Amino acid sequence: ASAILVRARVPSKQTQRTGRAAVFLYKNMTTFVFNQRISVAVQEFGAICQERQPDVVKGVLPYWPRIYCRISMDHDRRVREATQQAFEQLVLKVKRNLAPYLKSLMGHWLISQCDTYSPAASAASAAFQAAFPLNKQPEAISFCKDEVLNVLQDNLLKETADTLSDPQSVPEEEREAKYIRLLTCSLLALRRLLNILPEQERELLKERLTQLITQGKFWKYSKHKTPQVRAFFELIAIMCADAPQLIQAEAARACSAVLLSIDDTDPVVLPPLWEAVLHILSCVDNCWTHVSARKGVMPKLWVLLKEGGRGLATSLHPNLLPFISKLPAEVTQPNLEFSRTFLTSVIQGLSSDRATSSPSESAAIIFATMECLRFIILQNAGDEQEQRNIQNMLISEQLLPLIDRALGNPSLQTGPLFPQVSDMLLSWEKRVAGKETPTFQRLLSDFWEGLGHLCTTYVDREEAKQTALEGIASLLQNMHNPNSASKQTKKKKTVKICFMDKEDRGQGEEPPRETQVVEEQHCPLRNRHLLDLVCQLAELNMVYVSERESERHLRFLSQLLGAFPSPQVFQVLLRPEEIKPEMGPELRPLAENTAVYFLLQRVTVWLKQDDRKDTDFLVDMVFSSLQCCSSSDDKTLILNHISLFVFLKQRDLNWSVTLQLIEKACADPVRLGVCVGWLRGPVLGERLVGLAGELCVMGLRGSPSSSSHHAHGWPLISLTLSQQHNNEPLIGKAYVKQIIDKLHATLSEAKGMSDAGNMEPLLTFISDVAATFFSSVKDCLLLASAEELLMTVFQLCAQDQIFTHLSGTVLQTIKKFKHLSIIVWELVSISSVINVSLQVLVQAVESLAQTIASAQNTSCLLSQFICCLTPTEEEWSCIRQALPPQVLKPFTFTQAKQAERSVSTVLVLCPFLASEERESLIALCVAELLNWQDSKQDCIDSVRGCLAVLLCCLQADTAVEDEILLAVVATIAEWRNSREEWFLFNSDLGKVSTAGLLLAVEMMRFLCWMVDHSPTVLGNTHWDLLLCSMLAWLETASENSSMFLNPLVQLFVCANCELIVRLSEFFTSPPAGVQEQLPPELNSEWKEFFLEGIHNLLLSLLIKIPEPDDPLFPLPALRAVGEALTYIPVELLTQNKLPPRFVADQRSSLPEPLQTLLNTLSPLLLFKARPLQLAVYHILHKYRLSCYRLSYGEEPCLSPPAALMSILSATEELLENILGGVQVGEFAVVQPLSMEHCFILGYLLAWKLLFTFFKASSSHLRAQYALHLKKTRSLHKLLLHLFRLMPENPSVPGQPAEPSSKEPKIFFTESLYLAPRKTDGLQFELPHLACSVYYGALKDLPAMVRLWWNSQEKRVFSMVDKFTSKYVSGVLSAQEIASVQSSTQTFENMMVKARSATREVIATYSVDDIFIELVIQLPQNYPLGSISVESGRRVGVAVQQWRNWMLQLSTYLTHQNGSILEGLSLWKNNVDKRFEGVEDCMICFSVIHGSNYSLPKKACRTCKKKFHSACLYKWFTSSNKSTCPLCRETFF
């Protein structure tokens, strides 16, 4: 095959005629196969087939069958899957053109569809379906049937492991695995061939198939050591079904191979084996003449059954019934012994370990046992002596012992045995009416007699086993109502023997199965036997209960009565000589009912026993007795009697029983219907009201809570209040109201008591009851008493703990049923208590806020409390809708003209007003603003309020005319002339009133809105007012920088900076169509005057802010200034007006303003405020600094900016102190906004700036800077710190848990958003920034990172490699390949292309007659691993020169800090110089130096050879000589 592939590398004439594209396609594919990169080649082949035109792809068809037949059998399963996927793409392109090659493909194609690797088989089937519709597939296979059979016959009879694979190059294990897989697939393919071929086509293959099955090697596969090969039995089964003549001709071999393997229990083999067994028994009539049933088959089967199928009962036992049904008489004689041995073996399998531990295994054995038992009984349903013996054996030796075993085994009790027994009895009872009446009557009689004796044996013991008693009750309940526990029978999949008389059905229709079962279960014969047995057991059970007070028998009696609430059963439980209980005249007529008599005579006595603790099963007896009462009034009388007169002396027990009665009634709709009259009656209602009163009185007295009143009373009250029936309260509505009133009164009284600390248990109980009531009952607040209770609870929460003496735990318990904010909104939504609830809200908020603020370390708690208290938009909408319009409208319109507090209320409600109401508010406010001069007193408060409300309405998207806006702007301009003091220009903000500052802020906000929404409304004078005021306000802020600790001054600065930001955004990218409508000179004025003034002031303001030592540090103002500075143009940075700042002995070629900017702002990267750090970073990032030179010793070396390097040197020691205790590779959690956070943030930002600076430099300078970083070991320290700051799993938070088709987002794929105003997600900022810095280091300094990685210890080395490979390498490789693909850079004489699927870059260099091709392969752990450079084609280049160039390219890519394109460019320049005649440096053997990229210029006077200066320097210093490296003469 290798020789074929080698020869195939030269395209044939047909391929050449197809075109160059087909040649390229074929060449690539065969070359990849030859180079053993099959998987990659096949994937690319599929992609090419998908991309190219059909005419191009057709050219590959002559060569595809050879390649497909080879690689479709490849050992690598990924190759096989990729082959089938590529084949599908090929089929979709060529379609009918595949027909001439179909016969050479079909054999292996069919084998591939039976591949043991499911994805490969599915892909082959998909390709087959793409080629042929379902109705055409038999025709296609018929067309190729001879060729397919040739391939399969060769695989099955001729091939071996050594003929399939080369023993010299393929390991033995791989050869054997491939051979086994081929055998398995060939057998399955032959089965598929026979199954899909039409009958006529199978007849044509009869002779060929006969030749196959007459071979001894074919039948040896039945005993093959590998289970997969023994899929041979699937083939035998299909041959029996579709070609029985073949099997009959080889009956001896077939029967021996199949029947003698009946004990094969491999999970893969057993299902097809038993399928083959059943087919052999049906297909070969005289099969038992070829094997010995008694010696060869049955002994193996008995052992297998006794062992429970060896864990395969679910697959084996469903076949037992068809198996024994096909056995002839000569095999089963004598019938008695065969049946006994068979069933005994099956039942013994229940004792196997697997059956006892697996319910499904046990159920399969039970199903098989009962099915076979019923079949044997039907086969022996006569009256002959042998048949009677078999019947007796089946009942006495098999069925009853099996039931006996189940009574002692709880797992068998919950299995399908009892439903199966019940189903069998139903079928027997139905057959009593037929011809076999005596037989089945005798069977039923024997069964019930034996079952009665068995049950009596268990019950008639003083120490009866509880498990057995529960089993008997379960069995009897199943027999009485088979539907109640027949869920296990749904798994039954085998044949069910069921005989039904046709006379019982209607003509042409069959009744539903459920109806049939219901009719059958009322068969009088079975009911008589069953009821007699129940009465017998109940009477015997009563003896042990009455005479020996057996608790176990009493529980068993409760279970019997629950299943059989029949008067006959209650009759046998009563003794006539016993005295009737005392009862009122209304109950005497009911005493004639035996169930009621038993309830009053027996059950009530047992309930009143002093030592009785568990009454649950006795309550079940109460319900069983009530089921025998026909009238609901009678049931209510009985329950009332129990509630009133039976337990007068044991009230605590009475509440326990009452609670159980109600709980069981609520859990069962049938029982609830029995009790509904009693539940809503006056007797229970009044007793519950009295109970609530007693509990409240006891709680107020501080009585201990350990009494039964507390244990059962409070849960009883809670249950009756929370449950509903038919959307009505469980008890009467009047009693619900009375109970709520009592709870409210008690809570009100407890609230005002000074010793309320003793009330904690009472308050806890009432809170629990209220919590359940309010969370369970719909529309509970419609009750006035419930509303009052809610108000009282809320007021109790709002009170100070100093006065209530309540612990925090109790307060938490009181509040648990509703969050405080939700209670508030419910209160506010009730119009009748609006004023009161708002007052309580204010008190509660003040109290809770003071309590939280007084505690320590509660910043997080306070923020959570505010978030919880503040309503969402949906909750605000609910409040707005709940408030009546007649209340809301006058409230808003009248308050708009009142004090500041009322204006705040209007501002809150304004967004939720209707649009018409907001328009009315705008009209009121504009009228007030336009008439501001009419006010007799200082109107600054009124003006400020109206302007604020107007802006709020505008922000709510309220429609307003342009004339109104112009009028407001004109009014502001009028203030500028007549009330200039309102604008605060050149004012001391520390002496300005609050109203004055707020008015200036509102004017700024209004102007911001105008810039955003209506800039075209403003005229030339309006823009002058706006821009001049903005700049004057900024000057005022700059002059008052010492007042920034004042919160109102901070608000002033924030509003001013917000206006600057909006203006910067507007002039940078104005909305479409707006630029033409603005004043013509506006844009130039902004750029030439205002922009410079703004940013000069902002820069000076930035450096005036003091260190953040004060708790009132102006962080908001700093955040606003920082965001405004991010819009500073690059030109203004180079012309800044900052005070000059230089460092002694600092050499720099930068302009003075730029050096001053760098020296001034760089130290601020370590400022202890995040917004300022980020602002400085964005400013420095704006301008890519120029490079400058420093000298170090004799060798010139370039350094990055000294200001940034000083930041790194200052913080490296700090970071070592902070992170030194964290091991490299462990994640260090840094508290956001802490001191450590600021230091680490500044350090990482400085590195990001260095990477930006590094990237902007030329290749020559990058090498010098890298050398400097290497000397200072700065990058070494950075990488160690990064692997303490990056998380182990750098996934972006907030992603769904469920896996999706998209790749998960990680910090390396998502861009980092560093905004000064960002406040959320700060805990992820440093990890994300650390990942960004590491990504930048790998991208810009790959050689240095690789050098650091190789120098690390084994643990760090492995950890870094694993982390980088998993999270970074894929992203970097994809970006590198994408940059090559999308690059617009062109190279003379060189073409570069990339392949993303294989992570390869191919460079083709050609000049004159010289042609060079290099393949650059990126490693899996790129860029840590070495980049491999592989040889492609070369023409006209000497071998030695070729090796030198490959080594040079590999060296450039490994040791240069840059991209692949830059390395290729350097290599191309080197080759170009070589062709231009420039000789190599004889030290480094390269034309261009690898570090400083210089040419060889220093020539030896003797040999005339030229060398690089750096190479000579290194040669002289390392050899301590001054001789020429080549001629050894003194170098001058």
State pLDDT tens for residues 342-364: 999 999 999 998 888 889 999 99
441: buried, middle or exposed (CB in 10 Å: 19+, 13-18, 0-12)?
middle
Confidence grade of residue 180 (pLDDT, cut at 50, 70, 90): very high
Say yes or no to pLDDT of 860 above 70: no
pLDDT at 1383 over 80: no
* Residue 1256: per-residue pLDDT: 72
The pLDDT mean for the chain works out to 76
Q: Per-residue pLDDT for 496 more than 60?
A: no
Whether pLDDT at 171 is above 80: yes
pLDDT given for residue 832 in this prediction: 35
Q: Quote the CA–CA distance of 1136 and 1151 in Å, as a whole number.
A: 11
Provide the pLDDT for residue 813.
Answer: 47
pLDDT above 60 (res 842)? no
- In which band, very low, low, confident or very high, does the pLDDT at 524 lie, cut at 50, 70 and 90? very low
Per-residue confidence at 843, pLDDT binned at 50, 70, 90?
A: low
Q: What are phi and psi of 1432, to 5 degrees?
A: -105, -140
Written as one letter, the residue type at 1063 is L
Decide if 94 contacts 54 (C-beta within 8 A): yes
* Tens-digit pLDDT profile for residues 601-654: 777 777 777 666 777 777 888 878 777 787 777 777 777 777 665 444 445 456
The answer to whether the CB of 411 falls within 8 A of the CB of 359 is: yes
> Measured between alpha carbons, how far is 577 from 774 in angstroms, rounded to an integer?
54
Neighbouring C-beta atoms of residue 811, cutoff 10 Å: 18
Of residues 418 and 1313, more confidence is placed in 418
Q: If you average pLDDT over each of 977-986, 1098-1107, 1257-1266, which comes out highest?
A: 977-986
| Segment of 122-126, 687-691, 814-818, 1522-1526 carrying the highest mean pLDDT | 122-126
Q: How far apart, in Å, are the Cα atoms of 1410 and each of 1404, 1442, 1478?
A: 11, 11, 18
pLDDT on residue 277: 92
Per-residue pLDDT at 1192: 33
CA distance 1313 to 161: 61
Residue 892 pLDDT > 50, yes or no?
Answer: no
Is the Cα torsion angle 441, 446, 450, 452 positive or negative in sign? Answer: positive
State residue 1408's pLDDT score: 65
pLDDT for residue 683: 82
Looking at beta carbons, which pairs linking 430-435 to residues 24 or more positions away fall under 8 Å? 430/499, 430/500, 430/501, 430/520, 430/523, 431/499, 432/525, 433/501, 434/501
pLDDT at 279 over 80: yes
Q: Residue 823, class by beta-carbon neighbours within 10 Å (0-12 exposed, 13-18 middle, 19+ buried)?
A: buried
pLDDT band at 108 (very low <50, low <70, confident <90, very high): very high
| CA 685/CA 731 separation, integer angstroms | 6
β-pairing verdict for 724-725 and 1400-1407: unpaired
From residue 358, how far is each of 307, 344, 363, 1054, 1148 by CA, in Å? 14, 20, 9, 72, 83
Which residues are within 8 A (CB) of 1033 and not within 5 positions of it... i.e. 6 or more apart?
A: 983, 984, 985, 1000, 1004, 1052, 1056, 1059
- pLDDT tens digit string along 1158-1173? 777 777 777 777 777 7
Query: Could you give the 3-state DSSP secondary structure of residue 788?
Result: helix
pLDDT digits (tens, 9 = 90+) for 1111-1149: 556 777 777 887 887 777 767 666 666 766 666 555 555
* Biggest alpha carbon–alpha carbon distance for the chain: 143
Which of 436-450, 581-595, 724-738, 1012-1026 bottoms out in mean pLDDT, i.e. has the lowest? 581-595
Residue 497's SS3 state is coil
pLDDT of 1458 strictly over 80: no
The mean pLDDT of 499-526, rounded to a whole number, is: 38
Over 80: is that where the pLDDT of 1342 sits? yes
Residue 989 pLDDT more than 60? yes
pLDDT band at 114 (very low <50, low <70, confident <90, very high): very high
Question: How far lies 877's CA from each of 49, 493, 829, 912, in Å?
Answer: 59, 58, 11, 6
Confidence of residue 854 (pLDDT cuts 50, 70, 90): low
pLDDT band at 1299 (very low <50, low <70, confident <90, very high): low
Which pLDDT tens digit goes with each residue over 1052-1065? 888 888 888 888 88
Reading the block at residue 813, the tokens are: 């318990």
Count CB-CB contacts under 10 A for residue 363: 25
Q: For 1484, phi and psi rounded to 5 degrees?
A: -100, -5
The alpha-carbon radius of gyration of the chain (Å, integer) is 47
Q: Rounded mean pLDDT of 964-978? A: 86
Per-residue pLDDT at 597 exceeds 70: yes
| Segment among 372-386, 560-574, 684-698, 1381-1395 with least mean pLDDT | 1381-1395
- pLDDT at 1345 exceeding the cut of 50: yes
Q: What is the pLDDT of residues 221-258, one digit of tens each?
A: 888 898 888 878 888 999 898 888 888 888 898 999 99
Q: Does 130 score more than 50 pLDDT?
A: yes
Q: Which of 183-187, 278-282, 388-392, 846-850 has the lowest mean pLDDT?
A: 846-850
Q: Within its chain, how far is the Cα of 667 from the centroid?
A: 35
| 480 confidence band (pLDDT: 50, 70, 90) | confident
Mean pLDDT, residues 734-740? 81
Give mean pLDDT, residues 849-855: 61
Give residue 1384's pLDDT band: very low, low, confident or very high (50, 70, 90).
low
Q: How do residues 746-790 score in pLDDT, each as one tens digit? A: 777 776 664 444 566 676 777 777 766 766 666 565 566 666 776
- CB neighbours of 447 closer than 8 A, spacing ≥ 6? 395, 399, 400, 425
Query: Which comes out higher in pLDDT, residue 170 or 1156?
Result: 170
